[in-house]
């Protein structure tokens, strides 16, 4: 099923994968239609943001980081196993480039029965339900373990996403990875998200994180691609360091 759609000046096709069901293939085709672009300036930026140089940069940085942080990985994994029974990693389905779904990896920061607890909390607490509907987060989330709270505060829970970068699911810098339901809130701006790989860090992460409203997050994802440059990439990476060390607005 050929699609003569322009994405970074090249023809794209809807790939067929035997393990995908009809709904998955429909979502992928829908994503490609949503991100059709004609603006030449934007096409050039998309080409650079998805280019071989950017991909090589991601692989080098992720590989070096995994090698350097190997002792931290082992320490965190052991601490999780000793303090709360259950898996070490949490794999949550997110939407990536072209609408492809992938398992976004994190160190597990919640109790093993977190999903059941969330349903109970949202049903019993209208304020929590309103906060979840607005932010897709709970600032004082009772599902989070004590160790998990520390990992979130320091952003150490996101280190396994370096594996996602090596696999090609994510980039070092890019839009914040979102779920399918969150992407539906992007409206016409969803095409900006679907054109590039989501990132471990990005404009949202260095601009206030959880203190920022959802509409502003969406605007940051759009601005990231509209203003893409190598200088901007390096600026975001450099600003990530003080943002993480300050631990402000993290939850």
For the chain, domain boundaries = 18-109+144-245
- Residue 95: phi and psi, rounded to 5, are -100, 130
Q: Kind and range of the H or E element at 242?
A: helix 230-246
- What stretch of H or E contains 17? none
Confidence of residue 6 (pLDDT cuts 50, 70, 90): very low
pLDDT tens-digit series, residues 17-61: 445 555 555 555 555 544 566 678 888 999 999 999 999 999 999
Distance CA 151, CA 147 (A): 6
- Which whole-number Å values give the CA distances from 123 to 98, 118, 126, 130, in the listed order? 34, 8, 7, 11
The pLDDT tens digits of the residues spanning 170-191 come to 999 999 999 998 898 888 888 8
pLDDT, one tens digit per residue, over 85-110 is 889 999 999 999 999 999 999 999 98
Mean pLDDT is lowest, of 57-66, 67-76, 144-153, 211-220, for 211-220
Instruction: Identify the CA nearest to 60 among candidates 158, 162, 155.
Output: 162
Give CA–CA dist 87/160, Å, rounded.
14
Q: For residues 102 and 93, what is the distance between their CA atoms, to the nearest angstrom? A: 5
């Amino acid at each position: 099923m050929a699609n003569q759609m322009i994405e970074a000046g090249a023809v794209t096709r809807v790939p067929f994968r035997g393990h995908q069901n009809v709904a998955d293939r429909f979502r992928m085709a829908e994503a490609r239609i949503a991100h059709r672009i004609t603006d030449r300036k934007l096409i050039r930026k998309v080409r650079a943001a998805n280019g071989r140089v950017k991909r090589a940069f991601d692989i080098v940085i992720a590989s070096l980081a995994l090698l350097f942080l190997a002792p931290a990985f082992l320490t965190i994994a052991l601490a999780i196993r000793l303090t709360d029974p259950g898996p070490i990693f949490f794999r949550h389905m997110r939407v990536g480039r072209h609408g492809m779904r992938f398992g976004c990896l994190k160190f597990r920061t919640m109790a093993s029965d977190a999903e059941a607890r969330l349903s109970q909390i949202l049903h019993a607490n209208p304020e929590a339900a309103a906060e979840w509907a607005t932010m897709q987060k709970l600032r004082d989330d009772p599902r989070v373990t004590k160790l998990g709270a520390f990992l979130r505060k320091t952003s150490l829970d996101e280190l396994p996403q370096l594996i996602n970068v090596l696999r090609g699911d994510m980039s070092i810098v890019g839009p914040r990875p979102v779920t399918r339901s969150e992407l539906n809130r992007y409206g016409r701006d969803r095409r900006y998200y679907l054109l590039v790989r989501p990132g471990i860090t990005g404009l949202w992460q260095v601009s206030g994180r959880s203190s920022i409203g959802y509409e502003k997050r969406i605007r940051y994802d759009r601005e990231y691609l509209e203003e893409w440059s190598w200088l901007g990439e390096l600026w975001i990476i450099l600003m990530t360091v003080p943002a993480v060390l300050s631990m402000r607005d993290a939850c």
